[in-house]
Amino acid sequence: MGFTMKRIFMQLAAVVLAVAVAVPMAAPAQAAQSDELTLRVGLAYGSSALVSANLENNTGYGAGYRFGYYDSDLDFVELGRTSSSVTQLTMVKAQNVWVSGTSYSTSNNGGTLIGCYHVQMPGSYNSFNAASSAASAYSDGFVAWIDGEYQVRVGAYETEAEAQSWAGSLGGTVVGTSSYAVNVTETGVAKILFQFDGGSSKALGIMPDVTGVGETRTWFKDYRYPGGFRYERINGGNLTVVNIVDMEDYLVGVVPNEMSDSWPMEALKAQAVCARSYAYNSLNHHSTYHFDICNGTDCQVYYGYGKKGVNNVNAAQAVEETAGVYALYNGKPIEAFYSASHGGASESVYNVWGSSLTTYPYLCGVKDPYEADADSVNPYSSWTVSYTTSSLTQRLQGKGYGNGTTVASLDLTYSDLGNVIAVKVNYANGQSNTFNPTYIRSVFGVSSIRFQVNSAGSGTGGTASDGSLAVNGSGTLPDQDSYYVISGTGTISQADREDLYAISGSGSIDAVTSGGGSSVTEGSVVHVTGSNYVFTGSGNGHQIGMSQWGAYAMAKRGLTYKDIVTFYFPGVTVG
């Protein structure tokens, strides 16, 4: 989830002066309330869209398939079906495609051709059964549903001329399809069972099972999925594959892929509540690809019911025991972000992504006294990334920064929670680059924004930047030409640097003096230089919302999933 901003953060007691340019978090999609939401989950799209896509019935969970489409309410509209003996299907884009075993290619791979030209027989039909009966008179006849009309077509030829040579003897006309059409075949067989062309307004839907079992599971790319499937050629491209699945079934495929099935039940329940709330706010998030939520780390990791032999019974129990339960703020499901580990504190969504705390007050960041309980098993409890000046310069130049010069020093800006919310790289030629949390992890190759460099920062030493102001001997303010104060009557006036005072957290009042060389704590700018830059830190992820290892630790202490959710999202209720 990427958001860009540039921020200079300055604070004097209760006086805050900030300059920021931010792209806000995307607004949540709205959806009608219902007993159970149905989600469109993208399994293959964009660069991963497919020439062909296989399905196989999971033995014991139905057999055969139904063809059709999903209407605007995501109800399946059946157009036809296979017999129960057909247990493997492959959907193929309607153009010249060659089949060799289970390999499908748009170039000749030495296999058998499924051509894009056909002979259409006269007349149309009012049902799939009627059209299927007529098609059975031809060895290579099949039913086509074209723009709402059942037709009978014969053959699949590579060229129009080849199709024309057969049209005369068959008494039909040569036809092709639009760029949106999809052929349905038996896997490994170059014979069309059903052809669907609904233009740009309708996409092929496949619903597993014709036997009437209560629960279906279908193999796709070595994973078992509940629900049905949709195949769409967006803008005439390869197949975008979407799993149409109810919310609770979807969550059974998310929770064990975002958190280990062996973890404490209350942690798994907290994960279920967060995942459900996140999914609710992701409706139509991927509108470009005509689905709600993707199946990878950009959204939530989802692999249905998993691979063969994987059962994830604990995750399924956690989903069942929290069915329909959301994390709520003012009665609405929240944007329930989470990441693996915070290392001691989450962070304000404003500092990380530039989003308004007025809009997302529950994403304010909290100190975490629990996660440290899990340090012995948490692989992210501590980490180190080291650079020489030369290697750090090379890394930055590889990303397009600091070309023709070298790194001279770093300035780290810390939030009040002890996380790095800006890193300024100063170069030997006097230029600089400043990186916010959206880029800090990727630019410097670190796992989180909770770190020190050369053991300086977050209360462990280092020096304030030249020209900064020291507060109470342990804090600093960034250097600037002037500061302003607000009087009790609301009057704003410029303050003399020599007459500035600050109130500490303990209530003591101290003078603000010219800085340079004093120790610093959280909320400060820490200046680091040297021949090496050693980043030492803890945590992994974007630092927003719930820490999964923190949830583990809290559950181990005996706290409930409601305790976990309300701790990481202040002001939220669970219900």
Quick: pLDDT tens for 541-569: 999 999 999 999 999 999 999 999 999 99
The single-letter DSSP state of residue 509 is E
Of 14-18, 165-169, 245-249, minimum mean pLDDT range: 14-18
Residue 196 CA, distance from chain mean position: 31
- For the ranges 200-209, 235-244, 320-329, 511-520, which has the lowest average pLDDT? 511-520
Could you tell me the end-to-end alpha-carbon distance of the chain, in angstroms, rounded to an integer?
27
Written as six digits, the tokens of 156 are 């699949």
Contact 220, 239 (CB under 8 A): no
The answer to whether 517 touches 336, Cβ cutoff 8 Å, is: no
Provide DSSP, 317-374.
HHHHHTTT--EEETTEE----EESB-TTB---HHHHH---TTT-TT-S--B-SSGGGG
Structure tokens at 46: 């964009």
Across the strands, what pairs with 534? Answer: 386
Helix (H) or strand (E) holding 548: helix 548-556
Distance (Å, whole) CA 78 – CA 508: 74
Assign residue 507 a region: left if phi > 0, alpha if psi is -120 to 50, beta otherwise?
A: left
Taking 70 as the threshold, does the pLDDT of residue 199 lie above it?
yes
pLDDT at 370: 98
pLDDT average, residue stretch 243-247: 98
Closest CA to 296 of 258, 265, 269, 333: 258
Contact status, residue 342 vs residue 368, Cβ threshold 8 Å = yes
Q: How many residues does the chain have?
A: 575
- The pLDDT-based confidence of 134 (bands split at 50, 70, 90) is very high
Q: Is 92:206 a contact under the CB 8 Å cutoff?
A: no
Q: Which helix (H) or strand (E) holds 272?
A: helix 265-280
Percent of the chain topping pLDDT 70: 82
Q: Mean pLDDT throughout 92-106?
A: 95
The residue type at 60:
G
Q: What is the pTM of this model?
A: 0.82
Are 371 and 400 within 8 A, CB to CB? Answer: no
The confidence score (pLDDT) of residue 524 equals: 86
Residue 243 one-letter amino acid: N
- What confidence category does residue 495 fall into, taking pLDDT thresholds of 50, 70 and 90? low
Domain residue ranges of the chain, discontinuous segments joined by + = 50-238, 250-376+544-574
Q: What is the pLDDT of residue 17?
A: 26
pLDDT at 7 over 80: no
Could you tell me the pLDDT band of residue 456, with boundaries at 50, 70 and 90? confident
Nearest to 1 by CA among 399, 286, 382, 397: 286
**DSSP helix, strand, coil percent of the chain (3-state; round to 5):** 20, 35, 45
Mean pLDDT of the region 449-462: 73
Backbone phi, psi, residue 268, to 5°? -65, -35
Please give the single-letter amino acid code of residue 432: S
Question: Would you say residue 476 has pLDDT above 80?
Answer: no
**Residue 392 and residue 398 in contact, taking contact as beta carbons nearer than 8 Å:** no
For the ranges 214-223, 340-349, 371-380, 478-487, the lowest mean pLDDT is seen at 478-487
Residue 35 pLDDT: 62
Question: 550-567: string of b/e by CB count within 10 Å (b at 16+)?
Answer: bbbbbbbeebebbbbbbb
Q: What percent of the chain has pLDDT over 90?
A: 81
Mean pLDDT value across residues 176-204: 97
Bridge partner list, 109: none
pLDDT in tens, 252-303: 999 999 999 999 999 999 999 999 999 999 999 999 999 999 999 999 999 9
| Single-letter code of the amino acid located at 411 | D
Query: 447: pLDDT confidence band, cut at 50, 70 and 90?
Result: very high
Helices 247-258 and 265-280: crossing angle, nearest 10°? 130
pLDDT of 480 strictly over 50: no
- C-alpha 424/C-alpha 454 separation (Å) is 15
pLDDT at residue number 500: 53
The set of residues, in sequence order, having a beta carbon less than 8 Å from that of 446 and lying 6+ positions away, is 383, 385, 440, 535, 537
Containing H/E element for 146? strand 141-146
> Looking at residues 97-105, what average pLDDT do you find?
95
Q: What confidence category does residue 11 fall into, taking pLDDT thresholds of 50, 70 and 90?
A: very low
**Within its chain, how far is the Cα of 533 from the centroid?**
32
Share the mean pLDDT of the chain. 87
What is the C-alpha to C-alpha distance for residues 33 and 298, in angstroms, rounded to an integer? 26
Q: CA-to-CA distance for 246 and 227, rounded, in angstroms?
A: 7
pLDDT digits (tens, 9 = 90+) for 496-547: 544 455 444 444 444 444 333 323 344 689 999 999 999 999 999 999 999 9
pLDDT (0 to 100) of residue 458: 56
Nearest to 97 by CA among 130, 51, 131: 51
What's the pLDDT score for residue 436?
A: 96
Whole-number pLDDT of residue 295:
97
Closest to 314 in 3D by CA, of 258, 275, 249, 261? 261
